[in-house]
Amino acid sequence: EIVLTQSPGTLSLSPGERATLSCRASQSVSSNYLAWYQQKPGQAPRLLIYGASSRATGIPDRFSGSGSGTDFTLTISRLEPEDFAVYYCQQYGGLPRTFGGGTKVEV
Amino acid sequence: EVQLVESGGTLVQPGGSLHLTCSASGFIFSTYNVVWVRQAPGRGLEYVSGITNSGGNTYYADSVKGRFTISRDNSKSTAYLQVASLRAEDTAIYYCVRSSGYYDFWGQGTLVTVSS
């Protein structure tokens, strides 16, 4: 099983700042099949990024994903008030599919 | 518009069973895999089970293997999760998710609470 470790656990930033979230895998993620999701309180998760760097439909271009192999990054270039949420990475290159523990981006 | 609507969650005693339903619309259901993902209160996301588009292959997390059964009826655009021998640690919101490998559409979830 591929274990995904997200860091930091909590990121305290202000609107307009840049957020950099890390996701490290215990082994290489096949074909860089790594996705990022955003979850706000009381809501279901929403797909942001798939294939490590492809934005999902309707996702603003301030969200970008990068990385390969075992190290992946989600960057939010300039935080908007609606971006404060919890972010999860997930690998779908191997079975079982696994999620990271999440990073909370807070004001 | 793609929609996934879960139902069937409720309060159940330890050892009990439930039948969760996921009704899909807005896309060709038979062409997509479906997974169930759960989230315990205040916790992260956990893959529970998945089924291929034809229903020919099913997958389970070790934590639910032998207790949960996933199935689907493509003629009804519906997926199911039969959950049995429930434990307190199964308490969670259960999400039905459309899968393209990555999980591109999520339902709003149904809450299963296991407690005496």
Ramachandran region, residue B56 (left: φ > 0; alpha: ψ -120 to 50; beta: rest): alpha
The 10s digit of each residue's pLDDT in B51-106 is 999 999 999 999 999 999 999 999 999 999 999 999 999 999 999 999 999 999 99
CB contact under 8 A, A45 and B106: yes
CB B32 within 8 A of CB B16: no
Neighboring chain A residues of B109 at a CB cutoff of 8 Å: 44
User: Confidence band (pLDDT; 50, 70, 90) for B114?
Assistant: very high
Say how many CA atoms lie within 13 Å of A57 toward its Cβ. 4
Dihedral sign for Cα atoms in the order A60, A40, A52, A92 = negative
What percentage of chain A carries pLDDT values higher than 70? 100
Is residue A35 less than 8 Å (CB to CB) from chain B? yes
> Which member of B46, B50, B108 has the closest CB to residue A44?
B108
The token pair at A84 is: 């404060």
In this predicted model, what pLDDT tens digit does every residue of A25-58 receive, in sequence order?
Answer: 999 999 999 999 999 999 999 999 999 999 999 9
> Is 90 exceeded by the pLDDT of residue A95?
no
DSSP label of A60: -
CB atoms within 10 A of CB B70: 23
Q: What pLDDT band is residue B1 in, cutting at 50, 70 and 90?
A: very high
For chain B, list residues whose CB is within 8 angstroms of any CB belonging to chain A.
Answer: 35, 44-47, 50, 59, 61-62, 95, 100-109
Cα→Cα distances B96→B15, B17, B28, B38, B47, Å: 23, 18, 16, 9, 11
- Determine the average pLDDT of the residues in A86-107: 95
Report residue A21 CA to chain centroid gap.
7
Backbone φ and ψ for B71, nearest 5 degrees, come out as -155, 175
